[in-house]
Amino acid sequence: MKLCVALDMPSKEDNIILVDDITTACKNLNISTKDIWLKIGLRSYIRDGRELLYALQDKSYRIFLDLKLYDIPNTMLDSIVECEKLDIDMLTIHASCGFKAMQAIANLLQEKESNMLIMAVSVLTSFDSNGFREVYSIEIKECVKNLAILTHKSGLSGLVCAIDEVSIIKNISPSLLTVTPGIRLESTTNPSDDQQRVATLQDAKMACSDFVVIGRPIYRANNRIYTLESILQKIYKDQ
């Protein structure tokens, strides 16, 4: 399992300070920063764009651009061509853009011999079952299963999902990778904010999730380095 830290801070400088804290915690525990994924989402990318990407690429981390693209197949494909030039390691799209778009993207990456992982968002972890039924008239788990089958057939790398849904995806194919946000620490007193389908690191490990995404429990912690070290210890050191 690998850690993705969400760089969702209110300024570029704050994100760089957060990355410096991650570097300190990694050094203290003797963990390579190449094993850590920095997740740049909409807020940071809209504000700081490529400048932030380039600043982070100099620091030898893995870069995960979380843009959750969703459009018609032709527009998706053109966008992926542009993303491919950014030299990033992981990108998100919405699986609900459909099989045709996902397959075209997978074929394009194969043609270009690209190593960029494309993860398809299944159902956002901020949805609970009532809110989801209200919009899509289907149960979350049924929808995740359908989207995982389509993603697998398309040839893309894997899906973003809640911990509870990892087993559904791995049952379809163990080779599908899973990215799981909505992680909350046992010791924290923070409310789970807008996340509804939350789980702990221990749950994530037991479910065999490949990547956990953690944002607020790290950057809002009273003692950030201590929190980072305890997360890194659980993910990379404890058996």
Binding residues: 8, 39, 125, 184, 195, 215-216
**158 forms part of the interface with ligand C5P (CB under 6 A):** no
* Shorter beta-carbon distance to ligand C5P: residue 112 or 226: 226
Please, which residues bridge with residue 158 across strands?
119, 177
CB of 93 to ligand C5P, least distance (A): 11
Contact 162, 180 (CB under 8 A): yes
Q: Find the binder of ligand C5P among 6, 36, 101, 148 (CB under 6 A).
A: 6
Q: 202-206: long-range contacts at Cβ-Cβ below 8 A with a sequence spacing of 24 or more?
A: 202/234, 203/163, 204/1, 204/163, 204/180, 205/1, 205/234, 205/235
Q: Find the binder of ligand C5P among 22, 76, 101, 160 (CB under 6 A).
A: 160
**65 forms part of the interface with ligand C5P (CB under 6 A):** no
- For residue 81 the two structure tokens come to 């061509």
**216 forms part of the interface with ligand C5P (CB under 6 A):** yes
DSSP class of residue 212 equals E
| Stretch 107-126: interaction string toward ligand C5P, x if CB under 6 A | --------------x--xx-
Choice among 71, 89, 145, 205 that is catalytic: 71
Report the C-alpha gap between 150 and 103 in whole angstroms.
9
Which range, of 21-29, 76-84, 110-118, 214-222, touches ligand C5P by CB under 6 A? 214-222
Report the C-alpha gap between 93 and 118 in whole angstroms.
7
* Shorter beta-carbon distance to ligand C5P: residue 35 or 193: 193
User: Under 8 Å CB-to-CB from 102, ≥6 apart: which residues?
Assistant: 93, 95, 120, 150, 151, 154, 155, 156
Query: Helix (H, G, I), strand (E, B), or coil: what is residue 91?
Result: strand
* Shorter beta-carbon distance to ligand C5P: residue 67 or 81: 67
Q: Find the binder of ligand C5P among 15, 195, 209, 227 (CB under 6 A).
A: 195
Known catalytic membership, residue 128: no
**Separation of first and last alpha carbons in the chain:** 11
Residues 12-41 that bind ligand C5P (CB under 6 A): 41
Contact 136, 143 (CB under 8 A): yes
- For residue 212 the two structure tokens come to 């956990």
Query: Which stretches of the chain bind ligand C5P, using CB under 6 A?
Result: 6, 8, 41, 66, 121, 124-125, 160, 181-182, 193, 195, 213-217
Catalytically active residues, by annotation? 66, 68, 71
